[in-house]
Amino acid sequence: MMKPTKTVGEELRWATEQLRPRCGESARLEAEFLLTHVLQQTRLELYLRAQESVTPKQHAQLCKLVERRRRGEPLQYLLGHAEFFGCSLRLTPGVFIPRPETEELVALIVARSSTPPAHVLDLGTGSGAISIALARAWPESSFVAVDISPKALALARENARRNGVAERIRFVRSDWFSHISERFDLIVSNPPYVRRGYLERAPRELRYEPQGALDGGPEGLDALTEIIRESPAHLRPGGVLYLEIGSDQGSCVRRLLQETNAFGEIETLKDLTGQDRFARAVRSDYVAPGASL
C-alpha cells in the first residue's frame, strides 16, 4: 500500500519541528526556505497552496535537505544562493558565506563616500559580494577583486555576470597584494579575523566553510596586519581603507594603522549591535619618514 502523500502545510509543520533543535526560533523560516527550494515556489505560494499535495519525490528531497541542515550544513549551501545588499549570489561549498555584518560594511562605505571612488580594490572577494554590491551602487567606478582561491574567483565571476557588472570588475588570483601593482581610491576587505583557538571549538556550521577564509591566526590579526602594512603603497593620497574586524580587535587595529605612519584619519565604527566591527583609515597626502610604502 502506498503511503498517503502530505500536503504543503503538513510538510512545513514537519520540517519546522525537525529543525527546531538545531535552528531554534528560526526553524520555521528555514523550513520555509527549504520547502520553497524543493517546490520551486515563493514563500507566499506555500500558504496559498497549503492544502495541495507534495509528491513522494519532493518529500524525499525535503527529507534529505532537512537532515543535512540538522547535521549543521549551512542553509545557504543547501539553497545554493544568498541575497546580499540587493544582489542575488550563487553559493557553493568551499566559498565563504557573506554575513549581514558585511552588508553593513557596504552600506557604511556607500553612505560615507561623498563621491564614488574611481578605482576600487576588494581583497579576499570570495563570492564577489562586496565588489558586486559596490559596482551596482557606483555604475561609473571600476573594480579589481582578488582571491587566492580559483574556485572562489570562478564563482565571483559568475555572480558578477548574474548581476550585470562583470564588465567593470577585473578578477585576479592573488595572495592579498602579491599580484597587484596599481593604486586605488578605495580598498576594502573582509579578511579572516577569527582566532584559531575559537575555530577549534566553533559551531558546527563554521566547519563547513573554507577555514582559510576564517582563520586569522592565534590572535586573529595575521591577515589584518599584512593588509594594513601593505595598503599605503596601493592607495592614492586621500584614498580610504575599510576593514571588517572582530568585535574585540578595535584597539589593536587602530594601533596597527597608526604604526604605518601613513594614515591621517583613523577610526573604528560599530555594527548594529553596538560592537566594534569596522575600521576606516584615510591615506595622508604627506607620508612620514619610515612609513610602510
CB 185 within 8 A of CB 120: yes
Q: Most distant CA pair in the chain: distance in Å?
A: 84
96 is catalytic: yes
User: Strand order of the sheet with strand 119-123?
Assistant: 169-173, 142-147, 119-123, 184-189, 235-244, 276-283, 263-270
Quick one: how many helices (H) and strands (E) in the chain? 11, 9
Q: Say which residues have a Cβ less than 8 Å from residue 286's Cβ, sequence separation at least 6.
A: none
Single out the catalytic residue among 33, 84, 85, 96.
Answer: 96
Residue type, 275: Q
Single out the catalytic residue among 84, 85, 190, 232.
Answer: 190
Enclosing H/E stretch for 87:
strand 87-90
Give SS3 for 200: coil
261 is catalytic: no
Q: Which three cell numbers stand for residue 159?
A: 555572480
Exposed (0-12), middle (13-18) or buried (19+): which is 84, by Cβ within 10 Å? buried
190 is catalytic: yes
Single out the catalytic residue among 74, 117, 191, 192.
Answer: 191
* Active-site residue set: 96, 190-191
